[in-house]
Amino acid sequence: MKYLLLFVSALILASSGIKAQQKFELTPERKLQYAQGIINNYYVDKVDADTLVDEAIRAMLNTLDPHSAYSTPEETRELNEPLNGNFSGVGIQFNMATDTLYVIQTVAGGPSERVGLLPGDRIIEVNDTLIAGVKMKNNDVMRRLRGPKGTVVNVAVKRTGVPELIYFNITRDDIPIYSVDAAYMADPTTGYIRISRFAAETPEEFRKAMNDLRKQGMKNLIIDLQDNGGGYLNAAQELAAQFLKKGDLIVYTEAPRTPSYTYVAERNGDFLDGRIVVLVNQYSASASEILAGALQDHDRAVVVGRRTFGKGLVQRPFPFPDGSMIRLTVSRYYTPSGRCIQKPYVKGDIDDYIEDIKHRYDAGELMHSDSIHFPDSLRYTTLRNKRVVYGGGGIMPDRFSPLDTTWYTPYYRDILAKGALYQYVLGYVDTHRQQLKAEYPTEKDFAERFEVTPEIMNGLIEQGKKTDVEYNEEQYKQSENYMRTVLKALIARDIYENGSYYRIANDLNPIYHEGLKVINSPDEYKKLLGD
């Protein structure tokens, strides 16, 4: 009996040793594989293995920083499309506000224009599938219109004044996606260029816009980066180099596991003498902050607006063979003065990070510059004039412009949210397109001479009532001037091109007006730069 007990004890000890050894050898990678195997083999319901792995990857990345992310093959295509500069499709700008695809514009020289599709046409069917009146989502519509270059899509079109449907066979082709939203002369000597994102073709688009504006007499330049969430680092680098001297540092990166990079201007820029103002707000991020930070650190531009988003983390794409991709944060970027502009974050707490803009609003930062406080440890100086600048949370502008909410009312919110504004514009343009084009041949003519009449505003009120927006006279009067300008801007966009919207809508933008004031005041401009 004694020997039997000893034998059992030995077995228990041996078993414990094996288990301890096995536990020691269970790497995180194997543990993940075991977990997947257990779920696949024993879960009560059928499991989609692809979905399981996708969600596991997302969960892992969510424990890191707010910008490391995973995307499925379809999501990856959608993410890359605006940055690559083109996609294959039929070449139209459309609106689905009335539950019918309404053609706003055709891309010049694009597939739809070539076959005779016109602004104002309504696409009823795509490849024998009814898309009108069925509450189809925009993404679903685009999925039907886009496709490989050279393939054919058949559409049935309803045209005003034509009783029967018109049928078109459209051969899909490459459609350019532009990142320069607007370029025009703000006054006789000041050019204005708005950039929505930093894409592969942005530098070339920007150079073209610059050349066109110079021919019109541009001496000084406003670069509008409001709401620009970033894009390709190289694109921002190329734009910055146009305003700096050879050898000037633009941005550098530092990382513990990947090589560090330094980006400098490789030659003298083409625009070294004129005054530059960069417009930013709380949604200007990443590559926008690189451009604004580089020009600020070299005392080459006055930054006007509100503190930028604060994204100073660099993501490297790691594609999978199936087209999915991990965008992993591999380094931090720094402005020439040494500032890391990444705002603080708690690993795994993405919700708090997303809510940061709301926190700024609640703290009064968007209305009052003195509500922003930086510790001395984040204090830096510009390279030429030794002005004080701060890191650790976005680019702080040289001239602050507060957020204006005096025009905002629940009435305007509902007019916008329920689609009444866009529906009315579509109907108005549909009825008056030819008349407006004849009376105002160019967008400049329209901007200078077209007036939003009381009849037009009454039409908007009635459209609001049709969409269950209750008329409130007091709130209407408070928002009236704002709505007039937005209406005019939307009409211009639908008749001419996207850039027409900003030529008119900028009248409502305090940051734009502050930037124009600074650039046209040489003494104030020099003072802000520390000259």
* Whole-Å CA distances, 290 to 82, 98, 296: 20, 40, 10
Residues 212 and 279 in one domain: yes
pLDDT in tens, 144-170: 888 888 999 898 988 877 788 889 889
- Using one digit for the tens of pLDDT, what is the confidence trace for 187-226? 999 999 999 999 989 999 999 999 999 999 999 999 999 9
Inside any domain, residue 231: yes
- The pLDDT tens digits for 51-85 are 888 888 999 898 888 889 899 988 888 777 767 76
- With 0-12 / 13-18 / 19 or more C-beta atoms within 10 angstroms meaning exposed / middle / buried, residue 375 is exposed
CA count, 13 A, side-chain hemisphere, 211: 6
Give the end of a domain, one of 403, 428, 448: 403
Q: Collect all residues with Cβ–Cβ distance below 8 Å to 345 and sequence separation of at least 6.
A: 65, 66, 352, 353
Residues of the domain holding 293: 180-315+330-403
Q: What are the residues facing 170 on neighbouring strands?
A: 153
**pLDDT category of residue 25 using cuts at 50, 70 and 90:** confident
Name the one residue in this structure whose structure tokens are 């910055």: 240
pLDDT digits (tens, 9 = 90+) for 421-442: 888 988 898 889 889 999 999 9
Check residues 76 and 7 and name the one with the higher pLDDT.
76
pLDDT of residue 460: 95
Do residues 327 and 68 make contact, with C-beta atoms less than 8 angstroms apart?
Answer: yes
Does 184 reside within a domain?
Answer: yes
CA distance 27 to 19: 14
Residues with a known catalytic role = 286, 311, 315
* 381 and 482 part of one domain: no
The set of residues, in sequence order, having a beta carbon less than 8 Å from that of 68 and lying 6+ positions away, is: 61, 315, 326, 327, 328, 329
Highest mean pLDDT, choosing among 8-22, 152-166, 255-269: 255-269
Same domain, 490 and 365: no
Q: Look at the chain and count its residues.
A: 531
Task: Looking at the structure, tell me whether residues 474 and 490 fall in a common domain.
Answer: yes
In a domain, 507, yes or no: no
Asked if residue 257 and residue 154 are part of one domain, the reply reads no
Q: Is residue 393 part of a domain?
A: yes
105: its two tokens: 């514009």
pLDDT, tens digit (0-9, with 9 covering 90-100), for 483-509: 999 999 999 988 888 788 999 999 999
Mean pLDDT of 89-111: 77
* Assigned domain for 469 exists: yes
Residue 366 DSSP code: T
User: What DSSP assignment string belongs to 164-177?
Assistant: S-EEEEEE-EEEE-
Q: Which residue has the higher pLDDT, 78 or 367?
A: 367
Q: Do 352 and 436 lie in a common domain?
A: no
Amino acid identity of residue 473, one-letter, is E
Q: How confident is the model at residue 12 (pLDDT cuts 50, 70, 90)?
A: very low
**What does the alpha-carbon distance between residue 146 and residue 135 come to, in Å, rounded to a whole number?**
19
464 and 396 housed in the same domain? no
Mean pLDDT for 131-149 is 81
Q: Which residue has the tokens 């530098």?
A: 203
In a domain, 514, yes or no: no
DSSP-assigned beta bridge partners for residue 381:
388
| Residue 264 pLDDT grade (very low, low, confident, very high; cuts 50, 70, 90) | very high
Same domain? 298 vs 154? no
Note whether 197 and 285 are same-domain residues.
yes
- 373 burial via Cβ count (<10 Å: 0-12, 13-18, 19+): exposed
CATH number of the domain within which 261 lies: 3.90.226.10
Domain boundary among the residues 368, 386, 403 is at: 403
374-396 pLDDT, tens digit per residue, is: 777 789 999 999 999 988 789 99
Domain boundary among 120, 141, 176: 176
Residue at 223 is within a domain: yes
- pTM score, two decimals? 0.85
Of 102-106, 277-281, 447-451, the range with the lowest mean pLDDT is: 102-106
- Indicate if 477 and 393 belong to the same structural domain: no
Measured CA to CA, the distance from residue 213 to residue 185 in angstroms comes to: 7
Task: Report the pLDDT value the prediction gives residue 13, as an integer from 0 to 100.
Answer: 45
The CB-side HSE value for 221 (13 A sphere, CA atoms) comes to 27
The pLDDT assigned to 388 comes to 93
The pLDDT score that the predictor gives to residue 1 is 43
Phi-psi region of 120 (alpha: psi -120 to 50; beta: other; left: phi over 0): left
* Shared domain check, 187 and 164: no
| Per-residue confidence (pLDDT) for residue 86, from 0 to 100 | 65
* Same domain, residue pair 357 and 431: no
Q: Count Cβ atoms below 10 Å from residue 452 Cβ, excluding itself.
A: 17
Residue 17 placed within a domain: no
φ, ψ (nearest 5 deg) of residue 498: -55, -40
Supply φ then ψ for residue 74, to 5 degrees.
Answer: -65, -45
Per the model's pLDDT, the better-predicted residue between 177 and 277 turns out to be: 277
Domains identified in the chain, total number: 3
Q: What is the CATH number of the domain that holds 168?
A: 2.30.42.10
